[in-house]
Amino acid sequence: MLTALELSNLIEKINSLIDGKEYYVSKIYPILDDTFLFKLHHAFENDIFLVVSSIGIWITRYMFKGNKQSYFFSSLNRLTRCKLLNIKQFNNDRIVRLKFLDKVDNEDVVFYLFVELFGNGNIILCDSNMRIIATLKKNRRLKIGAKYTVDIDHRIDPLNIEYEDLYPLLDADDMEEWLVSNIALPNSIIKMVIEDANLDKVRDKRELDRLYSSLIKVRDEFLEGKRSLLVDDTNNYLEAIDRKFSSIIVDRLEKEVDNSKRDELIRIINRKEAKRLELIRRAKEIRGLANRFASNNINDDDIKQVIALGIDNKGSVYSIASKLYDRAKGLERGIKKIEDSIKKSKDELAKIKETTI
């Protein structure tokens, strides 16, 4: 997942390509349940493909083959032909806000799309008053018609941190624990700050100076794209992010195809198994009927069964028995073919399960 610092850097780089250039949404492609590809069109610039997903937001050079229709997509699709006004980080948090403008009866209509990149992720479509129109995932906090709000992180915002905010560290027993509890940064970045400062505890203001300098340095390196928890190639950050997140989407698409194949194979196996059991039942009945004719121990119902099977009942009981045995053998050969087919399907299913574990 993107940290708030990396998200800030990513949005700045995306905005450098689209901000103030009047891109319009010409089409939205549903890729997965939680992933959508926005085709942004400009009269004089190249089209841009923007992925909006519960795992991130990024510009891509890939085209995905997914086509996952959903109720949320039908709501999201109203953004088609809207102008993308801007993309911003909301509350310096792991939330992206996309602002769109539409024209309805010559009136300006604004829509907001919020992309939450914490927890399991979510996407929320709101009207101009930030009232919720549709949500990707249901949540007690997010009710249709209610105003979009988020819980405020009461920890210190690393973008606005002041030297004085760290004074309590002079009395803290555990420096790392205090930093994690009081500064809105993930543990991994806190550890980088501590490593950069080369401290295990803040004992005086000189060491506090060192820690604060390291905190600002590491923070700014993330904001400037010089450091990343997600990608190694920070010199080509947008491309690296595209490769990282797009590979996740491709893997999920392949898994969905495999799951679809698996489900279809299970349905095929079940149908074949039902047919096999039916043929076993019929073969057993016909063989039992043949046995009765072979022993000349038949009744009127047996003769009716022979007629229903389309077998000539004019011959001797032994010739009828022979014909019944042949019919039963034919069914038993069919059973064997079905069993071979079931085995083949089960082998295919096993291969799919091996690749998706």
C-alpha 230: how far from its chain's center?
A: 18
Domain boundary among 92, 127, 153: 153
**Cross-strand pairs, 114:** 97, 124
Q: What is the pLDDT of residues 285-295, one digit of tens each?
A: 999 999 998 99
More confident residue, 333 or 140: 333
Domain that holds residue 347: 255-356
Domain boundary among 100, 124, 153: 153
Question: How confident is the model over 339-346, as a mean pLDDT?
Answer: 90
Task: Say whether pLDDT at 66 is over 80.
Answer: no
DSSP 234: G
Q: Cα separation of 142 and 122, whole Å?
A: 10
Residue 180 burial by Cβ neighbours in a 10 Å radius (0-12, 13-18, 19+): middle
| pLDDT tier for residue 354 given thresholds of 50, 70 and 90 | low
| pLDDT tier for residue 357 given thresholds of 50, 70 and 90 | very low
- The pair of structure tokens assigned to 325 is 């045995």
Q: What is the pLDDT of residues 14-63, one digit of tens each?
A: 999 987 789 999 999 999 999 999 999 998 999 999 999 999 999 999 88
Task: Say whether pLDDT at 106 is over 90.
Answer: no
End-to-end Cα, the chain, rounded Å: 22
Does residue 14 share a domain with residue 53? Answer: yes
The pLDDT of residue 36 is 96
Does residue 144 share a domain with residue 13? Answer: yes
The pLDDT of residue 54 is 95
Does residue 149 share a domain with residue 15? Answer: yes
DSSP 147: B
- The pair of structure tokens assigned to 157 is 């915002």
Count of structural domains within the chain: 3
Q: What is the pLDDT of residues 164-196, one digit of tens each?
A: 999 999 999 999 999 999 999 999 999 999 999
DSSP 19: T
Q: Which helix (H) or strand (E) holds 51?
A: strand 48-53
Does residue 70 share a domain with residue 177? Answer: no
Residue entry with tokens 């389309």: 310
Q: What is the pLDDT of residues 282-323, one digit of tens each?
A: 999 999 999 998 998 888 888 888 888 888 878 888 899 999
Does residue 147 share a domain with residue 41? Answer: yes
Q: Which of 96, 99, 70, 64 is nearest to 84 (CA)?
A: 99
Does residue 173 share a domain with residue 139? Answer: no
| pLDDT tier for residue 233 given thresholds of 50, 70 and 90 | confident
Domain boundary among 223, 244, 271: 223
The pLDDT of residue 356 is 47
Does residue 169 share a domain with residue 149? Answer: no
Query: What is this structure's pTM?
Result: 0.74
